[in-house]
């Protein structure tokens, strides 16, 4: 079974920018990103930490899978 990669907040931010998300605001170390898709606002909060905890990364992935198919995200978040 593939394992989650160890990623930083900056790396996760760059992954979602490939899917059309843009940074809209920041409060402390948390960055709010959003994209408009089919006239719906899709928003995620990404902590800009050097290394994200596994549970945090899993939570971000779960939220993002509401907007982006999990199959499209797997290659960025899981090891082979």
Query: Residue 53's domain is classified under what CATH number?
Result: 3.30.920
pLDDT band at 40 (very low <50, low <70, confident <90, very high): confident
pLDDT band at 1 (very low <50, low <70, confident <90, very high): low
Distance (Å, whole) CA 21 – CA 12: 11
Q: Is residue 79 part of a domain?
A: no
Q: Is residue 37 part of a domain?
A: yes
Query: Is residue 32 over pLDDT 80?
Result: yes
What's the confidence (pLDDT) of residue 39? 86
Q: Is residue 34 part of a domain?
A: yes
| Domain region containing 37 | 9-74
What's the confidence (pLDDT) of residue 69? 94
């Amino acid at each position: 079974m593939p394992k989650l990669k160890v990623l930083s907040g900056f790396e996760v931010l760059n992954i979602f920018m490939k899917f059309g998300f843009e940074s809209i605001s920041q409060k402390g170390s948390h960055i709010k990103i959003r994209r408009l898709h089919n006239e719906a606002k899709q928003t995620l909060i990404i902590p800009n930490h050097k290394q994200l905890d596994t549970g945090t990364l899993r939570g971000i992935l779960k939220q993002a899978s509401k907007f982006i198919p999990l199959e499209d995200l797997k290659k960025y978040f899981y090891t082979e």
